[in-house]
Amino acid sequence: MLVMIGRGLEVAGISNAPFTIALRSLGRRKSRMTLIGLLVVLGTFLIVFGGTFATSAQIGSKQAIIGNFTGDLVLYSSKSKDLPSPFSFTTPLPPVENANGLQDWLASRNDVSKFVGIAQNYGLISVEKDGKKLDLSFLFYAVDAPRYQDTFNNLAIKTGAYFGVPGSGTEDGILLSTRQHQQYIDKYGINLQPGDKVTLLSVTGGGAVNAVPTTVRGIFDPVKYANVFDYVNYMDIGTYGKLYNFTGVAEGSLPTEMDSAFGASSDEDIFALADSAAFDTLDVDSLKVQTLTGYTMLSVKFKEGADQQAFSNALKEQGFAVKTATWDKASSFFSSIAGILQAVIVGIVLLIFLIVVFILMNTLIINILERTGEIGTYRALGADKSFVSAIFLWESLILNLAAALTGIVLSLMLIFIIGPGGISLPLIISQYLVGGGPLQMIITPGPFVFGLLLVLVVSFLATLYPTRVAVSVSPLKAMSGK
């Protein structure tokens, strides 16, 4: 290839003498140049392989987050001041208004592949032990069970079963995480098992307590991000609605007088209601029962190639009282972990390159000082300064380009050796990075282009100063005999 470059320069009418001299001079200083070459190979390898690693982690974490928590887009109440997050248990977002209408609309859209409503909240499980009542605290996602499983199939049931198919009579109840289950045993000596009847207690702002009987349906492990989400439990949305009184009369179906009476603040107003004509003539059939689902967010997955902007515009037109958050905004700090890793890798690599620059500069300067006689000779023979700088720029470019390409080839080889199985990482690292499991190495052009450009820029910069030293060598140096 280098010979071809030389040939090309000759054809283009440019004197290729500096190139020829550079190429052959490299060969004369093999051990020193090999050392620099190896450093650049290492640097390139680190940046290309590290970059591919970080990019793969980013892709992997995006897939894991979209696939298991957020979907592509999260819809949440426009009243919410906070962004949705996987951790909003103790300060849940306000429930989404008209969630059913929203779900109907989502179901009608053909750019949406899947969606599911989720409510995050906490409550208590009331159990009896040795005649005494015990309240166990309990963080949970309340979900539309079949839809949830269809959208995020991320629970591995260890004992018992998932909520079950609708109509099977088992679709209501709770699922406990393995860690939660074990904690109840360790802390309270209570071993809840699938089939156990328990009473759920809600804890509401006003201090009111609702008690809803339910059944433990299963014990599970989270498939992804297990270390982070092992304290999260599940509840079906029906039970959740009962627990938190999310059942009421639909707005607008109640006569106005009654509506205002319900909103009354004094006893007088309430007694006045009894006298009201409306009360006597109330047509019960006209009342619509509205299930306020209590969902705090709806996760939407799009079909491939869906126009998300068009979706958002259409959503706005519908006038639902919701805001949207993309997966990365709705995943708390998780989406940034891979980005941070990438920044760290880039930082380390830049540091290595800084060292390489100094070693490279040093070696080039030593190289030049050893060759002042030769440089002086070129100048005495009438070579311009540009001829001398061309020699040293070529030397650096040839060396670093060859080393960079070697580093790239090595990275590719390693990536292919790793193969489709991916890299297995220590659990704790892979949990935070991609939610667990091996990291699939995905080849993207980014790290390769970046690595090559960086080497070229770095080698150019590292050569600038030595080249200035070289061109300042006086032709008089040709005269100082050996």
Write out the residues near other proteins by the rule CB under 8 A: 15, 17, 20-21, 24-25, 27-28, 373-374, 377-385, 387, 474-476, 478-479, 481-482
Decide the pairing of beta strands 233-236 and 155-160: unpaired
Q: Within a 10 A sphere around the Cβ of 429, how many other Cβ atoms?
A: 14
Instruction: Give the span between the Cα atoms of 423 and 433, in whole angstroms.
Output: 12
Q: Which is nearer to other proteins, 328 or 374 (CB)?
A: 374
Which single residue is written with the structure tokens 């897939």?
63
CB neighbour list of residue 246: distance below 8 Å, 6 or more residues apart = 95, 240, 291, 292, 293, 294
Backbone angles phi, psi at 264, to 5 degrees: -65, 150
Q: Which is nearer to other proteins, 24 or 468 (CB)?
A: 24
CB neighbour list of residue 20: distance below 8 Å, 6 or more residues apart = 6
Which one, of 127, 244, 143, 259, lies nearest residue 192 by Cα? 127
- With beta carbons less than 8 A apart as the criterion, state whether 145 and 162 touch: yes
Which one, of 445, 478, 320, 457, lies nearest residue 400 by Cα? 457
Give least dist CB 482 to other proteins, A. Answer: 5
Which single residue is written with the structure tokens 């004197």?
15
Instruction: Give the span between the Cα atoms of 175 and 214, in whole angstroms.
Output: 11
Decide the pairing of beta strands 233-236 and 132-143: parallel
Q: Which is nearer to other proteins, 25 or 430 (CB)?
A: 25
Instruction: Give the span between the Cα atoms of 180 and 175, in whole angstroms.
Output: 10
Instruction: Give the span between the Cα atoms of 112 and 307, in whole angstroms.
Output: 10
Give least dist CB 473 to other proteins, A. Answer: 11
Q: How far is CA 182 from CA 150, 187, 254, 269, in A?
A: 28, 8, 48, 53
Which one, of 227, 346, 246, lies nearest residue 290 by Cα? 246
Give least dist CB 463 to other proteins, A. Answer: 19
Give least dist CB 373 to other proteins, A. Answer: 7
Q: Which is nearer to other proteins, 59 or 471 (CB)?
A: 471
Q: Which is nearer to other proteins, 251 or 384 (CB)?
A: 384
Mapped onto helix, strand or coil, the DSSP state of residue 333 is coil
Give least dist CB 2 to other proteins, A. Answer: 14
Q: Which is nearer to other proteins, 24 or 303 (CB)?
A: 24
Q: Which is nearer to other proteins, 391 or 425 (CB)?
A: 391
Q: Which is nearer to other proteins, 251 or 370 (CB)?
A: 370
Give least dist CB 429 to other proteins, A. Answer: 51
Q: Which is nearer to other proteins, 18 or 51 (CB)?
A: 18
Give least dist CB 58 to other proteins, A. Answer: 47
Beta bridge partners of 214: 198
Give least dist CB 381 to other proteins, A. Answer: 5
Give least dist CB 335 to other proteins, A. Answer: 55
Give least dist CB 471 to other proteins, A. Answer: 10
Q: Which is nearer to other proteins, 19 or 334 (CB)?
A: 19
Give least dist CB 455 to other proteins, A. Answer: 25
Q: Which is nearer to other proteins, 15 or 253 (CB)?
A: 15
Radius of gyration of the chain (CA): 35
The token duo for 425 is: 């990482």
Q: Is 18 exposed, middle or buried (0-12, 13-18, 19+ CB in 10 A)?
A: buried
Instruction: Give the span between the Cα atoms of 239 and 44, in whole angstroms.
Output: 57
Give least dist CB 382 to other proteins, A. Answer: 3
Amino acid type, 222: P
Instruction: Give the span between the Cα atoms of 411 and 41, in whole angstroms.
Output: 10
Q: Which is nearer to other proteins, 104 or 370 (CB)?
A: 370
